[in-house]
Chain A
Amino acid sequence: MAKEGRIIYINGPVVRADQMEGFLMQELVYVGEAKLIGEIIELAGDTATIQVYEETTGMTPGEPVYSTGSPLSVELGPGIIGNIFDGIQRPLAEIKERTGAFIERGVAVTPLDREKEWDIEIKVKAGDRVEPGQVVAELAETSVIRHRVMVPPGLSGEVKLVVPDGRYSVEQEIVHLVDDSGQEKVIKLYQEWPVREPRPYRERLSITKPLLTGQRVFDTFFPLAKGGTAAIPGGFGAGKTMTQHQLAKWSDADIIVYVGCGERGNEMTDVLEEFPELEDPRTGKSMMERTVLIANTSNMPVAAREASIYTGITIAEYYRDMGYSVALMADSTSRWAEALREISGRLEEMPAEEGFPAYLPTRLAEFYERAGYIKTLGQEREGSISLIGAVSPPGGDFSEPVTQNTKRFVRCFWALDKSLASARHFPAVSWLESYSEYLGELADWLQENINEEWLEHRNWAMRILKEEDRLQEIVKLVGEDVLPDNQRLILEVARLIKVGFLQQNAFSEVDRYATPEKQYWMLKIIHFLYEQALPLIRENIPISRIKDNELFSEIIKMKEKIANDELEKFKDLMTRIEEHFNAVRANYQD
């Protein structure tokens, strides 16, 4: 008999019901005659508090609450990649089919298309013993993603029956097996998994490889690891979303999960219109072939915004378990924290800092801990999840609770600086405030695979930038002219690093994505110029002679003028630099 409760209280997305004995904590329920989707978040006696994922307008006390017996879950199977879902994995295209341009309530749609058929290849046979995570079938989900249908966690046994290779829809039972307790079980093309529970893996591996993003300030200065975590805090307009989009486009992850959590509708539309047109430099195929979007925009129900982060990470874990490197971007985690706050407020919980619930840090920690580089169950594939969360601090002030608590749980901190943004220095990543704790772990890989001088150039550039910052304090008081020439050289070279290297134009076809080799060469050029200029300064040749506007401007424009596949041009540039300084010396001696 289906259990049924009765609504006694309604306050926006928070509903209370009584006669709820037998319901489970975190159970998914249908609320009211309209059968809106909700989740039980508190049980006391026979009264339950439910957060409802849709607008409760018109709902009346006395209406029923129906049990489903299972927690809020996602469907994991083919048809996820290339799709766009809301915060509780309802496909937005399907919703549009039903209710038109505006989202109405109570739309019951399945996350995965039940009709669509997939060409599958069966990987097991009757009599095989299978373990959790083992691949039982494969199919091409998109032109670049092989989808591996795996034995769900917690299930093992002996295969009794398999279907032949062929075209099947997701509901098809492809494998029958008898589990260890002798019960018959079936495996379909998809499985369900509760979003709030991390999916299991065999073991966590240590971090060794970078997530290359094609963005110079990250790859060269503050690299992120595959399996690592990063936060991008910044006030409004500082460039969080642009940065997240850049990362989604150019990162060398196999799969991108992009969660638009409480942000703008147009930003999701932007991705939807642009990604299919963009070519992924690694595969030559459209970007959308490896991307899944979760969109719960700021005007969509706040409870579903809270869930969207979990929906995203669970999908990410599923592809990780297939052995892929997955990168998840969440824009913005602050909106998720605010959703927690809003629900908590309506529950009349005791607030901690700035109205946020006391469990905010725990939730953040749990989220970021779902990142990692792991060995999977089953055939021991290696998979990873890298998490990159945008943070939107009120007033751009990083001392607020979400930024501070996030900082405790991430290892890359990519701080965006309002003043850089207003000077249109993009990406507006502050080189003084940002850090990457992965630098040490990744240095070996970068030196082995890119160049052994990589770290040396990077550290040199950092020193120049730090020194420049110190000198600017003096310049602000007395102007640049009074500085000795060796210090003025530092200012000039720092400008080359900032404008010529750190600034990267997201809208330029050449500049938007730089291979690590190009990054290495660019920094090497600037370093080389400095090394060449320094002896001239020591010989008391004035900086005005050394600084040749044309040459400097050529160096600033090398990011635009030299494409990723034209690295030999950097050698010409080095020759030009050498010749220039030889000429300066020769002329001066005359």
Chain B
Amino acid sequence: MLNKEYRGLAEINGPLIVVEGIEGVGFDELVEVITPNNQRRKGRVLQISEDKAIVQVFEGTSGLSINQTRVKFLNHPMELSLSRDILGRVFNGVGEPIDGGDEIFSSRKYNINGNPINPYARKYPRNYIQTGISAIDGLMTLIRGQKLPIFSGNGLPHNRLAAQIARQARLGNGDEEFAVVFVAMGIKHDDADFFIRSFEESGVLQNVVIYLNLADDPAVERIIAPRVGLTAAEYLAFELGMHILVIMTDMTNYSEALRELSSRRGEVPSRKGYPGYLYSDLASLYERAGMIKGRPGSITQLPILTMPNDDITHPVPDLTGYITEGQIVLERELDQRGIYPPINILPSLSRLMKDGIGEGYTRADHPNISSQLYASYSYVQDVKALASVIGEDELSELDQTYLEFGRQFEEKFLGQGNDENRDIEQTLDLAWEVISTIPATELDRVSEEEIERYYRK
């Protein structure tokens, strides 16, 4: 069918345009918008009635006019060409090359919305990824095929941490291929440069695909960028059989773009002005992580989000936590005390670690010692609260040993260098070393045999 061109718009409202007098246009269809000075932009149909379509323009509507704009409906949803050649390339948020290189060609085109993985076809993720970071490997173990976000705040070293994970993560067994898909949504140029430099320095740039939507790029493009990135990840993982780590940052910027679009459409907002479908929308991204029975690859997601006001109950971290398989929570107070990575372990969690650690995976004592660290460190918080009322000196002898444990835990176990790569043995031994500051009779999560073998050894 010939794609008919329509001239003139009925309305322009933020990133939305209304086109009237149309015919044969489908829901969610890709649209080409031609500006008065012949720039081409992409968009998609958000709502359609008999002769009127509401279209979201990805690159924004600035420079469009009511009379001179032309619109073409392309009869298919937004699609992406994909081939192995995307590795090592840089694209914008809608998947066009911005590194001066060639266009990507492929006979098959991929719908960026993807299709849901059939739960019956999933393979339950069980293989752990050693990140070399004690807090993560020991207490919130990352599993291949997991979605584990970093909850951070402005000014906290989430980028450093994500880059360190990308650098140190051993995803495959050497003979398996591994690559990173990096999706930037509304982040600063400096932050993007930081990541690219870090990939470059560690020599993995040839195995990274980059999709960039920066702070000064159109906000509405942010809604497309992660879908483009995840479509590429699915291609690399499930067609080429690679192990893919997807870093998506910053999900808060993404959600804000969605909120803006929703309010332009006059939708009924739920919490803090975010649309009621934010949960489903985020899920349509996060659930694209995983593994599939009978296929070799995997998609592991490491989304990053900054919590407005460090508030974990804000809708973006809250709904994210409800969808992802745990979270790594960074804390300002630890950061201010110079502890890197400043991970607050108590609200942090990896839900998939239960099936990927212990005997046959990491080390037999792993589940118990990690549970013990959590329990004891949680009690340290009570002791600290009491100490702040009655003073450290007034604490019982036992409580003082807990304080000492807390200090050692934060400094020796949590704290590590930017380039320090600890293996799982080192991490678990360190765990026993710091727990040994408290009397063995206090340890109710570990077995007698484990105490015998590791305590104060």
Residues in chain A within 8 A of chain B (CB atoms): 8-12, 16, 55-62, 84, 92-93, 95-96, 99-104, 235-237, 260, 262, 264-266, 268-270, 272-273, 295, 297-300, 302, 335, 338, 341-342, 345, 348, 351, 354-355, 392, 394-397, 422-425, 475-481, 499, 507, 549, 553, 556-557
Contacts and interface: CB of A to CB of B under 8 A. Distances in A.
Q: Most chain-A CB neighbours within 10 Å: which of B238, B326, B355?
A: B355
B375 A424 contact: yes
Contact of B394 (A59, A60, A355, A479): A479
B444 A553 contact: yes
B119 A424 contact: no
Contacts of A425: 375
B389 interface: yes
Given A58-B77, A299-B284, A479-B394, A396 B313 contact: yes
Interface pairs A-B: 8 shortest CB-CB = A395-B313, A298-B283, A423-B378, A236-B321, A299-B287, A102-B115, A92-B120, A101-B121
B322 A236 contact: yes
Interface in B106-124: 111, 113-124
Given A60-B24, A395-B313, A10 B119 contact: no
Interface stretch (B10-18, B45-53, B59-67): B45-53
A378 to B, nearest CB: 35
A480 B355 CA distance: 39
A56 B267 CA distance: 19
Contacts of B296: none
Given A299-B116, A345-B268, A423-B374, A266 B122 contact: yes
Interface stretch (B25-33, B162-170, B187-195, B416-424): B25-33
Interface in B173-222: none
Q: Most chain-B CB neighbours within 10 Å: which of A11, A57, A480, A481?
A: A57
A365 B49 CA distance: 36
A235 B355 CA distance: 22
Contacts of A58: 26-29, 76-77
B287 A11 contact: no
A192 to B, nearest CB: 24
Interface string B280-324: 100110011010110100000000000000000111001101110
B35 interface: no
Majority-rule SS of B interface residues: mixed
Contact of A9 (B50, B77, B113): B50
Contacts of A12: 27
B375 A355 contact: no
A298 B267 contact: no
Interface in B261-287: 267-271, 275-277, 279-280, 283-284, 287
A265 B290 contact: yes
A335 B444 contact: no
Interface in B355-377: 355, 367, 371, 374-375
A96 B122 CA distance: 11
A302 B280 contact: yes
A414 B287 CA distance: 28
A395 B293 CA distance: 35
Contacts of A96: 118, 120-121
Contacts of A295: 119-120
Contact of B116 (A10, A100, A103, A479): A103
Contacts of A392: 322
Nearest to B322: A236
Interface stretch (B88-96, B128-136, B346-354, B401-409): B346-354
B293 A56 contact: no
A268 B287 CA distance: 13
A553 B441 contact: yes
Contacts of A265: 116-117, 119, 122, 287, 290
B271 A394 contact: yes
B385 interface: yes
B47 A11 contact: yes
B290 A60 contact: no
B98 interface: no
A266 B121 CA distance: 10
Contacts of B444: 499, 553, 556-557
Given A10-B48, A57-B77, A237-B351, A101 B375 contact: no
Contact of B115 (A92, A103, A477, A553): A103
A549 B442 CA distance: 9
Given A268-B119, A395-B313, A395-B318, A424 B323 contact: no
A360 to B, nearest CB: 12
Contacts of B315: 394
Nearest to B382: A476
A424 B399 CA distance: 20
Nearest to A420: B378
24 contacts: A8-B50, A9-B47, A9-B49, A11-B27, A11-B48, A57-B111, A99-B115, A99-B118, A102-B115, A103-B116, A236-B321, A266-B352, A268-B119, A269-B119, A298-B279, A298-B280, A298-B287, A355-B270, A392-B322, A394-B271, A396-B313, A476-B382, A476-B385, A507-B354
B3 interface: no
Q: Most chain-B CB neighbours within 10 Å: which of A10, A103, A480?
A: A10
B150 to A, nearest CB: 15
A480 B28 CA distance: 64
Q: Most chain-A CB neighbours within 10 Å: which of B115, B125, B323?
A: B115
Q: Most chain-B CB neighbours within 10 Å: which of A95, A236, A396, A423?
A: A236
B311 to A, nearest CB: 9
Contacts of B374: 422-424
Nearest to A56: B27
Contact of A394 (B295, B318, B351, B378): B318
B390 interface: yes
B26 A475 contact: no
Q: Most chain-A CB neighbours within 10 Å: which of B29, B50, B113?
A: B50
